[in-house]
Amino acid sequence: MKRFGPLDPERWREIREVFEAALDLDDAGRAEFLATRCAGDEALRAEVDELIQADERLGSLGNTESAPLPESGLATLLPLFMGSEPSGRSLLEPPFRWGSLEVTESIGAGGFGRVYRAHDEALRRDVALKLRPVDSAGRTAEGESYLEEARRLARVRHPNVLVVHGAEVHDGWAGIWTDLVRGEPLDARLHRTGPFELETLTRVGLDLCRALTAVHDATLVHGDIKPSNAMFDEDGRVLLMDFGSGFSPSDEGHPNEDHPEDRKEAPGGLPRQGTPVTMAPELLLGSRPSMSTDIYALGVLLYRIATGQYPFPAASLNELRTRLVVQDRVPLDELRPDLPAAFARVVHRALSPDPAMRPRTASELHWLIAASLGAEEPVAANESGPDAATRIPRSATRFVGRSSELRQLRSLLVEPGLVTLVGPGGCGKTRIALTVARELELGLPDGAIWIDLIGLDREGDVSALATQAVGMRDRADQAAKDALVEWIGRRSLLLVLDNAEHVLQSVAVFASPLLRECPNLHLLVTTRQRLSLEGERTFRLAPMSIPPEREVGDGLEVLESDGVRLFLDRAQRGGDELRLTTTTAPLVARIVRRVEGIPLAIELAAARVGTLGLTTVATRLDESFALLANRNRPAADRHATLLASISWSYELLAVTERRILDRLSVFLGGFTLAAAEAVCTDTDGNVVDILSALVDRSLVSIDTYGDDEPRYRLLESLRAFASERLVAAGESEIWSDRHLAWIEREAAVRGPAIHGPEMAAQVAWFEREQDNVRGALRRFDSLARAGRAVWERWVTLCLNVRPYWYHRGHLREGLGSLLEALSVSPRDSSSAVLARISIAHFHWTLGNPEAAMEATLESVSISRERNLPATLASALTLLASLHTDLRNHDEARACFEEALELRDATGSSTGAIVILCNLGVLEASVGDLAAAQAWYERALDLARRERDDSAIGQVGANLALTLLERGERDGVRALAAESLKAIRRTSSVANLSTGIRPLVLIEIAEGRLAEARTLVREGLTAQSELPRLAAWIGLLDTVVDLLVAQGQAEAAAEILGAIDVTREQTDMPVPDGFRARWDVRMGEIRSALGDDSFQSAWVRGRVHTMSTAWEFALRVV
């Protein structure tokens, strides 16, 4: 390589900086940059050109993952092109002693000199030593004191900043020794892995903010923050290295001020140090580096490692300057939509072209990054005691829009003094105050304090509330106001008084001495009218911007409105996929315009979209404008106690609103809009609008669950209050009866439908309305006790809820409810007979066959006496199942056949499916698998025609098991999978044990034990309580098969013992048709274990209860 001049270390440093900066530009931009930077220095241009060519050659060779090149390749290139030694002096070759250090090996070289591994005897560890030739005065060839860098670095002691241990001059060499760190620079990691994931981004952002805070606390500026100047150490910690400018803004000897001959600028005014694409706009315009430019560079770094590109890529320096001025960049959240949108906003704020709009400190940026990425927030060192700043409240939803208002409010709060944030009710004063307060919480040395005045009455003492907020104790010798003035003193903090409109005079009295005596206090008050104090700065907050009154096209134009963006965010909050299209954009614009951009009204309208749809919301809002206007009426008194506060809120309501609120108290556990309209509507007004008003006043909460209809709920304390008002008005019976009638109507439709194709939807309705159903049943109980003749309605409701109870395994609740209803019913009524059959079914399922048989026989008798064919068919079906369990096969078959004739006569397909399936169970139990298959096939065909998922799951699984028993394999996996899918689709816990068994057996046969184990654990863990006896036996029987396949014969024998003793205790022997399989499997396990081991395990199993056996199965599977 041809040398164009002396290559002293400072010259190599200049070459390195120009080379690295050039690599960040494309070919055209690189040419312009080099022409400007190297103007008048042909040798510099030639050196850099050769390095670029070498870098391209290295890049063409490719990199291995085990040894990645840094982003620029400089670590590889510089040693190749060092040529003659710097300043004509030979570099030292280890081993040698330098001062107190034993130098052992060279680990790098370049324009900076050479870096060695050395041993520091005082520290008793290896360090990195950087040596550079200097003259007798300790200055480099360029006249700089090399030890100045060491002095700057040594002022910073922080875990995320490379530690400097010492600096000395010996024998013409200046040396700095630091921690010896092995790791990977950020640019190398980015090259190797691509854009960083969320967890890594979080660690980098927070670590570098901590490092930069330490640098700035030492009154230094880094000056060259970029991915190649930060690295991951071996423990994953991020370290900040290689200071660029490293000067102190307050140093008198700053080169740009007192020593213009030392000014480090290239021709054309471009700073020699730093990388153009990472420089803040003011640097490119000639300003000096500052703490704010470091924050900007850190924003560039975060954007870079998150996206793999720079925020303002450009082909030339002029284009770069232009793009910075107009902020022509791709938003971070568009390139990385998987990252929190709040993080993108934080990075964009750090990249603001106006330094005043950036975070003022690295610690503030640290807080913002932590909050936006969901990391743990930093806590002030003085967390405890009276010096602790109160945490700013958190909001459940994200802040949207209002960037202009935020900038204006921030600028007013820069100087100490009073700022009043004034606006009408519902315009978002609290939300914007919260946002600014969070930004300033760590931006001010003494933090921020938030005091909500909503609970203070008109004569309340603001000073007392404030002293409590800061943790001060009352003092007998000093008034609270004077104590607070003394405590704040010269502290620099933000104090926010929220909701002050009802105590304006008290706030004015409180604020006056604070503003007079506390020169560094920033006081922000949210109110509906200003305080009118001297020096008060007022910011009037208007509603959010709305779309223009003209035709809307594709939606891009309306997105310029903050109100539209808020509407979309809230509508999508529950998972709704609302997107702006040519159809939806005009409707959204219409809604936002109609509510005049008031945020609370926008949120309320958005919450109703899932229920009413955009078109209905837009139409109905035409009738609710007056309601929205009521938000601006004067605030009423606030009180301290909960009851008084509720009463105060209640008194603010219009008469019709009070009436609806009272009526809503009959709901338990929440309600939908449709339910409220069904129960509470009369001539008192539109429930939709009144409910919206109650939500707006926080008297009713609203929850959305994806695509489900939104649900509303009253806090229990408020519901009790409203219920008492309803009783006092003499209307409790009226509206409770309305609620009861609504439940009866819904259950009458939804309960029977559980056996049909809409099973999942109907089960989901009962899940949501469980509390309302239980309330209705309790209401019937109270009415019956009061002498009202409601027994038939009560029993009917129980019968309609019964499919849900059985389906979800709420067996004891169903049994108890039916017994209570039956206790007041005539013995021989048809509904009472049906209730008795259901009671028998619950008893049977719960493992009480004697009680089941007694109730069933009585039901058969009454049904015959009263000639009730449908009821008799149900009773005979259950009786036949009981006979099957008792091995009375002939009696069972006769009962099934009679029941089937009755079902055919009445046209009940659901009942026929049950009988056909049970006939299959009967034939399988006696070993006639061919007959069982025929019955199951008939039942499955009918279930598919009726689209009865519950029956498809149960019958299909039984058929699959029968086919497996008969040795058939073709199509059985598909049949078993179909059955289990149907059971899962219906969330039927009752059928799950049957549904998984055929698939488990297939997986075992094919050697897929992991899949079999997953299925078995699904069956074991799905039960909220022990399943019915038959299901318990069936699932544990499946567990035994799995354990045998896994070689766990001893555990299998123990579970067999538990099954055996349970069968004995319940008089449920192994069915004849399954006895042979039971005996063969037991013999195989005995042979595997030997007689003694088998007997021990068998005895341990017989000690188990049903519950402990279940727990044991969960442990061993």
The position carrying tokens 């040594």 is 154
C-beta of residue 133 within 8 angstroms of C-beta of residue 1? no
Q: Can you tell me the distance from the alpha carbon of 705 to that of 575, in angstroms, rounded to the nearest whole number?
A: 7
**Region class of 114: left (phi > 0), else alpha (psi between -120 and 50), else beta:** beta
Per the structure block, which two tokens stand in for 982?
A: 């149907």
Angle at 801 between CA 800 and CA 806, to 5 degrees: 120
DSSP states along 331-359: -HHHH-TTS-HHHHHHHHHHT-SSGGGS-
Q: Can you tell me the distance from the alpha carbon of 499 to that of 399, in angstroms, rounded to the nearest whole number?
A: 19
Compute the radius of gyration of the chain from its Cα atoms: 40
C-beta of residue 150 within 8 angstroms of C-beta of residue 162? no
Per the structure block, which two tokens stand in for 807?
A: 């389906």
Per the structure block, which two tokens stand in for 87?
A: 């300043």
The position carrying tokens 């304006």 is 504
Per the structure block, which two tokens stand in for 214?
A: 């330490």
* C-beta pairs of 270-273 under 8 Å, 24+ apart in sequence: 270/36, 270/37, 270/317, 272/14, 272/17, 272/37, 273/17, 273/223, 273/224, 273/244, 273/245
For residue 448, what are the β-bridge partners? 494
Please enumerate in sequence order all residues whose Cβ is within 8 A of that of 406, keeping only pairs 6 or more positions apart, or say none: 432, 435, 436
C-beta of residue 667 within 8 angstroms of C-beta of residue 675? yes
Q: Can you tell me the distance from the alpha carbon of 1055 to that of 1063, in angstroms, rounded to the nearest whole number?
A: 12
Q: Can you tell me the distance from the alpha carbon of 978 to that of 890, in angstroms, rounded to the nearest whole number?
A: 33
DSSP states along 118-130: EEETTTTEEEEEE
Q: Can you tell me the distance from the alpha carbon of 931 to that of 919, in angstroms, rounded to the nearest whole number?
A: 9
Nearest by Cα to 59 from 76, 41, 44, 45: 76
Strand 164-170 to 173-179 pairing: antiparallel
Secondary structure class of 185 (helix, strand, coil) = strand
Q: Can you tell me the distance from the alpha carbon of 754 to that of 1020, in angstroms, rounded to the nearest whole number?
A: 24
Per the structure block, which two tokens stand in for 492?
A: 């620099």
Q: Can you tell me the distance from the alpha carbon of 470 to that of 451, in angstroms, rounded to the nearest whole number?
A: 9
Indicate the angle between helix axes 609-620 and 687-696, nearest 10 degrees.
110
Per the structure block, which two tokens stand in for 675?
A: 């339910």
C-beta of residue 540 within 8 angstroms of C-beta of residue 422? yes
C-beta of residue 533 within 8 angstroms of C-beta of residue 580? no
Is 130 labeled as ligand-binding?
Answer: yes
Q: Could you give the count of Cα atoms lying within 13 Å of 1091 in the half-sphere of its Cβ?
A: 0
Dihedrals φ, ψ of 289, to 5°? -60, 150
Residues in the annotated binding site? 130
Numbered residues of the known binding site for ATP: 130
